[in-house]
Amino acid sequence: MHMHRYEKWWLVFGTGSLVVFLFILGISAFHQGHTPPSAKAFVNHEQVDKIAPFNEPGLKKVEGKDWDYELVVLASAFFYNPGEVEIPKGSKVKVIATSKDVVHGFGVAGTNINMMLEPGYISEYVTTLDKAGEYLVVCNEYCGTGHHTMKSMIKVVD
Ligand code: CUA
């Protein structure tokens, strides 16, 4: 069959646009799907308990930084390490967190902390905790049978 050359051109153009479109779609899906918005760095999640700072989860006072404390959190099915932490009221805290296994959430009720923790990525968030109280940390990413029991507590104390 003889094709009119304009038809042929449109066929090539159409196919070409489709390929470009799928390529862009693939790229953006990859970026959105694999990099949590709060992720700043990478870590080998299989070795994460041996790699600083995740070898020592917990709260640390820091000097010479824009924040007063660093709260290092290691999440795994179905708990957080540390399970409970006390932070002095008014502290500026940098939360540094990751997951050892699957995707978990780190949402602190009553604050603006709401992160997605993905194995292999380090998520960070800086905030000031200026209201005393007990803040429940919940996992807001479905992570398995124990998902609904996955909790920890941040106590902001005077
Ligand atoms: Cu961890 Cu849901």
Kindly report the protein residue whose alpha carbon is nearest to atom 1 of ligand 1: 104
124 confidence band (pLDDT: 50, 70, 90)? very high
83 confidence band (pLDDT: 50, 70, 90)? very high
Asked whether the predicted pLDDT for residue 77 surpasses 70, the reply is yes
Which residue bears the tokens 């029991």? 149
Residue in 106, 98, 123, 111 with CA at minimum distance from that of residue 38:
123
Instruction: Quote the ipTM score.
Output: 0.99
Number of other CB atoms surrounding residue 144 within 10 Å: 12
SS3 assignment for 7-69: HHHHHHHHHHHHHHHHHHHHHHHHHHHHCCCCEEEECCCCCHHHCCCCCCCEEEECCCCCCCE
Q: Is the CB of 104 under 6 A from ligand 1?
A: yes
Compute the distance from residue 117 Cα to the ligand 1 centre, in Å.
Answer: 9
Is the previous residue joined to 82 through a cis bond, with omega within 30 degrees of 0? Answer: yes
Q: Is the CB of 97 under 6 A from ligand 1?
A: no
What is the arithmetic mean of pLDDT over 36-54?
85
Q: How far apart are the first and last CA of the chain?
A: 84
